[in-house]
Amino acid sequence: MTSVALTIAGSDSGGGAGIQADLKTFQELGVFGTSALTAVTAQNTLGVHGVYPLNASEVEKQICAVMDDFPVTAVKTGMLFSAEIIRKVVQTLKYYQAPALIIDPVMIAKGGASLLQNEAVKALKEELLPLAAIITPNIPEAELLAGMKIETAMDIEKAAELLLEAGADAVVMKGGHLDNQEFAEDLFMSASGKKFKLRSERIHTKDTHGTGCTFSAAITASVAKGKRMEEAVRIAKDYIHVAIKEGLHLGKGHGPTNHWAYRSYKAEIKEVVLLD
């Protein structure tokens, strides 16, 4: 049986993030990808030059069209843009008793452009997050959602605990924004008490556009195929590590990652370390 995943996110005209990155990742990991578009962006490796949101009912109709016809086994949300869209997504997913929800709380683009309206943060935290099988914030996103400054390992764990208390079943705290120049280390914590870290060599490159979208899409693909959340996170860490390492060197700014690298190099990946 073919596994099917749904991504609800914005479009990236540069192809490195958003819906485009999600669908590429689904395809590479053997999952049929469907989509519901929340906004069109005029975007390239140099930045976001325009954001053009759809209205909430248009987003709803796309989700309904997919859920009425396809056996979706995992859903991912990315850029949702507004509180109205978030509330409509929540309402629609509840109606369909949607399967595992992976939330990538997209808020700010690599170049600094805001991708989530201020009033939407509250809706994301209070209405969408309680539906999450897992949420995958980077440090700035976690600071905003948890309402605290994150500077130390203890801060990271505290913020993760706050997100679990807010209703998520599990959290991956992505460490790419931390100052450690040697490693990129992510923390997994679940409401059931499971906790581990995933560490990989830090790759010093400017080609990191779409890493968050790609990582969460990789989790979604594995969950859609029936893998346990812990295993899905480990596969996603391998996938994004090699996607960054084997960069494509495209564009004049923050270039995209290599979405097909995992297919070629997965047998050779030995650099991601599990720390219990």
User: What residues are annotated to the active site?
Assistant: 174, 208, 210-213
Nearest to 110 by CA among 257, 253, 260, 258: 253
Give dist(CA 157, CA 32) in Å, integer.
34
Note the Cα 97 to chain centre separation in Å: 21
Residue type, 172: V
For the chain, helix (H) and strand (E) counts, in that order, are 9, 10
Joined together, the tokens standing for residue 36 give: 């519901």
Please, is 260 exposed, middle or buried when counting C-beta atoms within 10 Å of its C-beta (0-12, 13-18, 19+)? Answer: middle
Give dist(CA 260, CA 86) in Å, integer.
31
Residue type, 194: K
CA separation, residue 184 to residues 141, 219, 255, 273 (Å): 17, 18, 19, 11
